[in-house]
Amino acid sequence: MTGRFRPTVGVLALQGDVREHLHALEAVGVRALPVRRPPELAACDGLVIPGGESTTMSKLAVAFELLEPLRDRVKTGMPAFGTCAGMILLADRVTDGRPDQETVGGLDVTVRRNAFGRQVDSFETDLDVVGLAEPVHAVFIRAPWVEQAGADVEVLARVAVGPAAGRIVAVRQGRLMATAFHPEVGGDTRLHEMFAGVVRTG
């Protein structure tokens, strides 16, 4: 692929901060496309799975006939970036999930839902992220964390302070990335740029 390649990156548009992700992706030079149906997914070179409520999102993905196509695309190498609930949907294993919890899978991690607590326990903090020179100001809203990461999973960030210090909140495995926080909030597009680089390099 040449430097002129401008990929199309979809945002799963079933719930969550869809518009904010679309704007961030456009800002880093990719075509951004809301995805609600299989033909829209088929047009994408990569996909962002935003925050929301993970069980509701998986049920909507089934209703829109997207869950199996999502699994197939991820399994066959499509780059994907999950944020907050999107991290849960990309995880192979979920702790404290509902009995009907389904995931797309692909990331060899165990994720705990609502690990930091309820909406009132939402917080912000600065994180050092592997590959970025300056810290990222991270917003956590009913966020998960990674309890266990497989040998092929690169830990990109951990919480540095407070009762959750040391908890894993950003990971990468091959063409898959995930954060427990919301990088689309606040105008810092560096993580979207990092993901766009994954998509561009195939």
Residue-range domain boundaries for the chain = 8-200
Residue 160, number of CB atoms within 10 A of its CB: 14
pTM of the model: 0.94
Question: Which residues are known to be catalytic?
Answer: 84, 182, 184
Domain 8-200 fold: Rossmann fold (3.40.50)
Q: Are 122 and 115 in contact (CB under 8 A)?
A: no
* Tokens at 98, concatenated: 């509902």
Confidence of residue 55 (pLDDT cuts 50, 70, 90): confident
pLDDT at 103: 93
Of the candidates 185, 91, 86, 100, which has an alpha carbon nearest to the alpha carbon of residue 146? 91
- Torsion, Cα 35 43 55 15, to 10 degrees, reads -10
* Residue 188 reports pLDDT greater than 70: yes
Q: In one letter, which amino acid is 98?
A: R
pLDDT at 119: 55
Spatial separation of the C-alpha atoms in residues 164 and 31, rounded to whole Å: 36
**Lowest model confidence (mean pLDDT) among 149-153, 164-168, 178-182:** 164-168
Match 């992700």 to its residue by tokens: 21
